Amino acid sequence: MIAILLALSVGAQDKVDVRPAADVPIIAVGLVGFIVPELLKEQIAPASCRICDGSLNGADAFFHDHLTSWVVDRKTADTISNVWVYALLPASTLVGAYTLTGPYGSEGAGLRAVEIVTEAVAVQAAILQAVKFTAARQRPFARYGHADATGTYDLNDRDSHISLPSGHTGFATSLGVSLAMTATLEESRAAPWLWAAAGVASVSSAMLRMMAEKHYFTDVLTGAAIGAACGVAFPLLHKRGNALSIAAQGPSLAVSGTF
């Protein structure tokens, strides 16, 4: 009885928990779903656009005309967005996840938060890739005839017509929202600041991608929506008290558990 009570008391205060046996395979599948299409883009991406934007909606046209090369030229904006989204934001988010746990976090709480954030980001990345390759929307620079012979604005590159949704915006939003949501569940005092930071990360990434003439407004909006959905859903799935169960008919099999 004492052993059972001790086992139940370990980590009992934690508001979130993880199950590596399930989480690690999910993260791995998500990463494969992102990396493999990226590496094989020239082989598996559609040969031409499916959404070619002969005429744009008012919002896309407005933001394109007012944000392209605003503040800095489009190539500089493209470079800044790559560094911001794929270097600075991941590093700061993982540090935040590891350190900004709330009063209920016990030993290992930082690593659990890192696992939750990583899972949310990996799944959204795979979802965005699937949508991108299915939609095959022409990028703004291609639609407006602003292509270059080489580089990231090359019309011959199949990346020129996988614009919807914005991967940068989805990535940045999922990072910020998953961290803020986890901190909220852990009742961390940093949670309000993290929500504000998530908003800044999402909006700044979206604006940089539109300034770079790589995405339309609806591209970044869709990316932000997918990123936010994953950023909210996965921490909630790890909230202690959520029940998971498996049942089968016939030969009786039932497995249930509660964090």
13 domain residue, yes or no: no
pTM: 0.88
18 domain residue, yes or no: no
> Distance of alpha carbon 128 from its chain centroid, rounded?
8
64 domain residue, yes or no: no
Distance in angstroms (rounded) separating the CA atoms of residues 118 and 136 = 27
- What pLDDT is attached to residue 155? 92
- What pLDDT is attached to residue 97? 95
174 domain residue, yes or no: yes
42 domain residue, yes or no: no
44 domain residue, yes or no: no
The pLDDT tens digits for 153-182 are 999 999 999 999 999 999 999 999 999 999
Q: Which of 171, 166, 163, 174 is nearest to 229 (CA)?
A: 174
- What pLDDT is attached to residue 2? 35
Which tokens in the block code for residue 118? 């990583």
Residue 214's domain comprises 71-242
The pLDDT tens digits for 68-108 are 999 999 999 999 999 999 999 999 999 999 999 888 788 88
Q: What percentage of residues in the chain have a pLDDT greater than 70?
A: 88
Q: How many domains does the chain have?
A: 1
15 domain residue, yes or no: no
167 domain residue, yes or no: yes
- The residue-averaged pLDDT of 25-42 equals 96
